[in-house]
């Protein structure tokens, strides 16, 4: 299928919350989880992963939490997908991993799909957290 993972959705929801509060205070996983009815443990792991990739910064201990670590313009949807779900690509052969597909050499649709893949990834890279804060998506998507 062609679906965004829940992890990605949860990340967007959380990042939006964090972004909107960044100047005021740290946000905890608990707060975000309760705001949006997202499974807490899962959200926590997502936020940890985002921390590893320097999307957000964490503060441990009581009164701890998360805060943005990048300008909202630099947090792209494609970036989040790749951080949380691994390399993105429409076809197996568009991924960096070792490719198992045995049709590679003789595949009759590979270049057409590669072109499509390129366009979709470019679209996803063009969308940033900023577009989720305000309703600026229209401008980007034409």
Binds 12, which of a copy of itself, ligand SF4, DNA, none (CB < 5 to 8 A, cut-off by type)? a copy of itself
Q: Nearest-5° angle of CA 51, CA 13, CA 44?
A: 40
List, in order, residues 6 or more apart from 86 with CB less than 8 Å away.
Answer: none
115 lines the binding site for ligand SF4 (CB under 6 A):
no
119 lines the binding site for a copy of itself (CB under 8 A):
yes
Q: Cβ(120)–Cβ(97) under 8 Å? A: no
Binds 39, which of DNA, a copy of itself, ligand SF4, none (CB < 5 to 8 A, cut-off by type)? DNA
Q: Cβ(58)–Cβ(64) under 8 Å? A: yes
Q: Nearest-5° angle of CA 7, CA 117, CA 84?
A: 20
61 lines the binding site for DNA (CB under 7 A):
yes
28 lines the binding site for DNA (CB under 7 A):
yes
Burial class of residue 122, CB neighbours in 10 A (0-12, 13-18, 19+) = exposed
**Quick one: CA dihedral 53, 54, 56, 60, positive or negative?**
positive
Chain residues binding DNA by CB under 7 A are 1, 3, 5-7, 28-30, 39, 41-42, 44-45, 47-48, 51-52, 58-66, 85-86
Chain residues binding a copy of itself by CB under 8 A are 1-5, 9, 12-13, 16-17, 36-38, 77, 81, 85-86, 88-92, 102-103, 106-109, 111-113, 115-116, 119-120, 123-124, 127, 131-132, 135, 137-138, 141-142
Chain residues binding ligand SF4 by CB under 6 A are 9, 91-93, 101, 103-104, 107, 109-110, 113
């Amino acid at each position: 299928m062609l679906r965004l993972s829940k992890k990605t959705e949860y990340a967007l929801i959380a990042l939006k919350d964090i972004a909107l509060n960044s100047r005021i205070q740290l946000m905890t996983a608990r707060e975000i989880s309760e705001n949006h009815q997202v499974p807490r443990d899962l959200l926590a792991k997502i936020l940890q992963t985002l921390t590893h990739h320097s999307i957000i910064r964490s503060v441990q201990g009581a009164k701890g939490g998360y805060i943005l670590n990048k300008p909202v313009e630099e947090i792209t949807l494609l970036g989040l997908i790749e951080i949380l779900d691994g390399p993105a690509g429409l076809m197996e052969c568009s991924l960096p991993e070792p490719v198992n597909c045995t049709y590679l050499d003789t595949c009759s649709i590979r270049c057409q799909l590669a072109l499509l893949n390129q366009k979709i990834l470019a679209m996803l890279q063009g969308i940033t957290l900023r577009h989720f804060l305000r309703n600026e998506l229209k401008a980007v998507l034409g």
